[in-house]
Amino acid sequence: MTQYLLTVHGSEEENAKVPEDQWPVMFAAVEAFNEQVRADGVWVFAGGLEGAETATVVDNSGDSPVFTDGPYLETKEHIGGFWIIDVPDLDAALKYAAAGSKACQGKVEVRPFQAEPPAA
Amino acid sequence: MTGFRGSQARTSTTEFAAVEGIFREEYGRLIASLVRRFGDIDIAEEAAGEALVTALEKWPEVGVPPNPGGWLTTTAGNRAIDRLRREKLRDGKHQAAEMIHDDTPHEPTGIITDDRLRLIFTCCHPALAPEARIALTLRLMGGLTVAEIASAFLVQETTMGQRITRAKTKIKGAKIPYRVPSAEDLPERVGAVLAVLLLIFNEGYLSASDGDPVRADLTGEAIRLARILHELLPDDRETTGLLAMLLLTESRRAARVRHGELVPLDEQDRGGWDRALIAEGHALVRECLAANRPGRYQILAAVNAVHTDAPSAADTDWSQVAALYDQLVRLDPSPIVALNRAVAIAELDGPEVALAQVDRLPLSGYHAWHATRADLLRRLGRSAEARQEYDAALACCDNTAERAYLTRKRGELV
């Protein structure tokens, strides 16, 4: 089994395009998808994130930590939420990503976690 | 392929070519069974390369074994086991390889055949970039070297090498499975494989390179792979359709270029068409017609069958061609299909009707649109406009033979 990170990418602009009366529909769809992921036994963790403007970048690679307000990448599109699932292979992960994308009406990036290094 | 060229010195050129020919023929099957056993493409490729080196050393001395494919599989399997032992890999891969190592003889059918089917779905996985799918398919299924693939697609060998390496890294890291897709996903995934085979064929048939206008090595390889896929999926109608379409297109190859210039269908010497390929293609089209579940490739194969059935261009059943394109438009309402349909309409209802349809299509960046307009305008006696269209077609056409044809036609305008 491999864990995959499924991240939802989108912009404030795109989010703003969704009419307000559609929000409950989307939330319900995402909740139904979450239920399915749990029921299938592949759920590891998931969550929605506050807006990118709430982010802080910390860099302690030098002498002392430097804190910078705002997201690391100055782009319009940011990660809005994510799932971590545990499935046999990429085909399975892509199926969940497709269902998740449909539910939240956004683009989903699929990335595998590194395998655990072999025990010494 | 470590030592591939180095071994040539000890082996005569003919023997080398013979061994290489067998190796090429067996390569897809060999790699596929090694990937299944060792779960790793790099290990499979290295082991296959070492088996080739051993074959080049031994076969000229003791003769080609009765079952060369089985010999290569066993030898490569042993080399892979040796290598894993030598490197003292203590991870699960080694354990797994030890456990599933078996010396049962190589079978030409059954599970080994399934291995190749698995491999082609891995190579043509939708999570890989389209150009990487083409390169991996030619490398792993076709046994072409990286240098050969690079020269076929006009890119640097290092670039092609990186493209293939990146794809293999993704297969491994993201765990792209080595498996025949489930029945519900199969039609779509087969579609992705067929698209790759068609791209390989077209690269050969409509080569954009400065050299040969037709690359028979690539059209031949696409047909070889399509035959394998058809053998593995005999009931998939679109696979049958694609193979038929490729065979019927290939059958006209020799007559399609004369003195470096493209010869259009109606001017081709039909005596130069390959009758064996036509017979094979027609049989496959009849199979598709009997099943009556038409898809894109089956319809295009049927169009090709109408053309190859006509003893002369004047005998072509254009109403049948138009009817087939009507069917295709319903499946795929793209402007390129509409353009091809208009060519048939020109024969049935005249160039004026066809031109009105062609003019509406948003294809001004496509050389075939300009070439078709040029031809229709020429037939209507509108020479000045035709000349402009030949120029526009030449401006966006890369194929040397087609350029030569368009240039001549423009020169003949009065």
**B95 band by pLDDT with thresholds 50, 70 and 90:** low
Residue pointed to by tokens 């004369």: B258
Q: What is the pLDDT of residue B18?
A: 84
Model pLDDT for residues B301-323, shown as the tens digit of each residue: 999 999 999 999 999 999 999 99
If residue B2 lies in a helix (H) or strand (E), which one and from where to where?
none
The DSSP result for B66-97, as a single string, is SSHHHHHHHHHHHHHHHHHHHTT--SHHHHHH
Mean pLDDT of B325-347: 95
pLDDT score recorded for residue B208: 67
Tell the burial category of B387 from Cβ atoms under 10 Å away from its Cβ (0-12, 13-18, 19+). Answer: middle
Is the pLDDT at B359 greater than 90? The verdict is yes
Q: Does B87 touch chain A (CB under 8 A)?
A: no
- How far apart are the C-alpha atoms of A105 and A20, rounded to whole Å? 14
B100 pLDDT higher than 50 = no
Do residues B138 and B196 touch, judged by C-beta distance below 8 A? no
Residue B125 has pLDDT above 50, yes or no: yes
Q: Which are the contacts of A67, defined by CB distance < 8 A and separation ≥ 6?
A: A56, A57, A58
CB A46 within 8 A of CB A37: yes
Question: Is the confidence at residue B110, as pLDDT, over 50?
Answer: no
Kindly report the average pLDDT of chain B as a whole number. 89
Q: Give the distance from residue B74's alpha carbon to the nearest chain A alpha carbon, in angstroms.
A: 29
The interaxial angle of helices B68-86 and B92-100, nearest 10 deg, is 140
pLDDT of residue B93: 55
| Count of the separate structural domains present in chain B | 1
Minimal-distance CA residue of chain A relative to B174:
A112
Q: Which of B204, B209, B196 is nearest to B167 (CA)?
A: B196
Looking at residues B234-253, what average pLDDT do you find?
96
A90/B181 CB distance under 8 A? no
- The answer to whether residue B31 sits within a structural domain is yes
- Please give the interface size between A and B, counted as residue pairs whose CB atoms are below 8 Å apart: 27
Q: Is residue B151 scored above 90 in pLDDT? A: no
Structural contact between residues B219 and B250, judged by C-beta atoms closer than 8 angstroms: yes
The fourth-level CATH superfamily of domain A2-51+70-112 is Dimeric alpha+beta barrel (3.30.70.1060)
Tell me the pLDDT tens digit for each residue of B183-193.
889 989 999 99
Mean pLDDT along residues B379-385? 96
pLDDT of residue B103: 46
DSSP B310: -
State the Cα–Cα distance between residues B224 and B237, nearest whole angstrom: 18
Of all residues in chain B, the percent with pLDDT exceeding 70 is 90
pLDDT grade, residue B6 (50/70/90)?
very low
Mean local confidence (pLDDT), B353-370:
95
- DSSP-derived letter for residue B129 is -
What is the pLDDT, as a whole number, of residue B8?
Answer: 47
pLDDT of B398 reads: 83
Least confident of A44-48, B4-8, B13-17, B402-406: B4-8
**Which of A3, A91, A111, A116 should be substituted to probe chain B, the one whose Cβ sees the most B Cβ atoms within 10 Å?**
A91
- For every residue of B317-337, DSSP letters joined together read -HHHHHHHHHHHHHH---HHH
Nearest to A5 by CA among A83, A79, A80, A81: A83
3-class secondary structure, B110: coil
Range of the domain at B34: 1-108
Is pLDDT larger for residue B351 or for residue B16?
A: B351
Residues 6 or more apart from B96 whose CB is under 8 A from it? B38, B39
Nearest-Cα distance to chain A for B190, in Å, is 15
> pTM of this prediction?
0.85
8-state DSSP, B398 = -
If pLDDT is split at 50, 70 and 90, which confidence band does B177 have? very high
Of the listed ranges B95-104, B153-162, B280-289, B398-407, the one predicted with least confidence: B95-104
As a whole number, mean pLDDT of residues B329-354 equals 95
- Look up the ipTM and state it: 0.85
- Could you tell me which residues come within 8 angstroms of residue B239 by beta carbon, excluding any fewer than 6 positions away? B190, B194, B226, B229, B230, B233, B297
B90 touches chain A (CB under 8 A): yes
B154 pLDDT band (50/70/90 cuts)?
Answer: confident
Q: Is the pLDDT of residue B109 over 80?
A: no
Ranges of residues in chain A whose predicted pLDDT is under 70: 117-120
Residue numbers in A near B176 (CB within 8 A):
89-91
pLDDT at residue A14 in the model: 82
The DSSP-derived string for B204-236 is HHT--SSS-SS-HHHHHHHHHHHHHHHHH-TT-
Tens digits of residue pLDDT in B52-63: 999 999 998 898
Do the domain assignments include residue B328? no
Provide, as residue numbers in chain A, all residues whose Cβ is less than 8 Å from the Cβ of B127.
90, 94
User: Domain for residue B241, yes or no?
Assistant: no
| Mutation target vs A (from B40, B168, B175, B185; most A CBs, 10 A cutoff) | B175
Contact between B206 and B215 under an 8 Å Cβ cutoff? The reply is no
| B223, B194 contact by CB (below 8 A) | no
Contact yes or no for A9/A109 (Cβ under 8 A)? yes
Q: How far, in Å, CA of B135 to CA of B137, rounded?
A: 6
Chain A residues with CB inside 8 Å of B128's CB?
none
Q: Which residues of B touch A88 (CB under 8 A)?
A: 175, 177
Distance CA A117, CA A15 (A): 40
Q: Which helix (H) or strand (E) holds A66?
A: strand A66-69
pLDDT given at position B370: 97
| pLDDT at residue A29, rounded to an integer | 96
